[in-house]
Amino acid sequence: MEPAATKRREGKKSLRVKVISLGNAEVGKSCIIKRYCEKRFVPKYLATIGIDYGVTKVQVRDREIKVNIFDMAGHPFFYEVRNEFYKDSQGVLLVYDVGLRESFEALDSWLTEMKQEMGSTANMDSIVFTVCANKVDLSKRRVVDEGEGRLWAESRGFNYFETSAQSGEGINEMFQSFFSSIVDTCENGGKRPVAESTAGFTKEQADTIRRIRTSKDSWDMLGVKPGATREEVNKAYRKLAVLLHPDKCVAPGSEDAFKAVVNARTNLLKNIK
């Protein structure tokens, strides 16, 4: 056994970590970082050219962390510059603008770009991802609600925060939790600890809710072909009802999804002889 004094010294060892920001152009990546590091907000849009680099020191529990922040440009034009910087990241801020649906829907392609650049040997499970639903101060133009954003994030084991670089809402809490998850991961031998909030629902439930929200009609919602029989509709309904029943499913949005499925079944059965 090691002497307690050695352990205490090790516990205080400083850490160097690398984090990157990802997300479409103009969603607020640079402003989120500026709000945290410089405590100010710049209303004028100054597009990041390729990449911005900065260093900050933070304290997490008994450790001093030196954070190297690589703030990526979201514009597709800068892909060639960005792709150099994915490797060795320990934390990723995935940012979207709650007033722009396409910026939310682009999160998957940002993950794809990252995976591609990191290569097949990279272990995504050792990276902490935090999703920032940004610009929540502009509540009137909001089109992606909290449930939808949270579901996307938590079903992947990512942290989720509502933020505003303009008002400062959620920024400190988000960074505190982000850095502390990175330290947890380092202390856990490089494996991301399972986020508490992901407990209680499965990826299948989360994906199904997302599919239901974006389905184009009642057939699509139940996952049956147009013209399906009563039996086929009922069979599909029963499967979804078991998966999404509010008594069994605690995923955000499950109640609405369940109601939508009940309505879809009723609509379809009305028109099937």
- Residues within the interface to Mg ion (CB under 5 A): 29-30, 48
> Which entry of Mg ion, ligand GTP, none binds 242, CB below 5 to 8 A by partner kind?
none
Between 172 and 202, CB nearer to ligand GTP? 172
> Which entry of ligand GTP, Mg ion, none binds 166, CB below 5 to 8 A by partner kind?
ligand GTP
Burial class (CB in 10 A: 0-12, 13-18, 19+), 75: middle
> Which entry of ligand GTP, Mg ion, none binds 56, CB below 5 to 8 A by partner kind?
none
Quote the least distance from Cβ 17 to Mg ion, whole Å. 20
Q: Are 246 and 254 in contact (CB under 8 A)?
A: yes
Quote the least distance from Cβ 141 to Mg ion, whole Å. 20
> Which entry of Mg ion, ligand GTP, none binds 215, CB below 5 to 8 A by partner kind?
none
CA distances from 66 to 31, 34, 81 (A): 20, 17, 24
Retrieve residue 106's tokens.
Answer: 């682009």
Quote the least distance from Cβ 177 to ligand GTP, whole Å. 18
Amino acid at residue number 265: R
Quote the least distance from Cβ 26 to ligand GTP, whole Å. 4
Which run of H or of E encompasses 262? Answer: helix 254-270
Chain contacts with ligand GTP (rule: CB under 6 A): 23, 25-31, 42-48, 73-75, 134-135, 137-138, 164-166
Listed residue (187, 78, 89, 189) closest to 130, CA to CA: 89
Amino acid at residue number 167: S
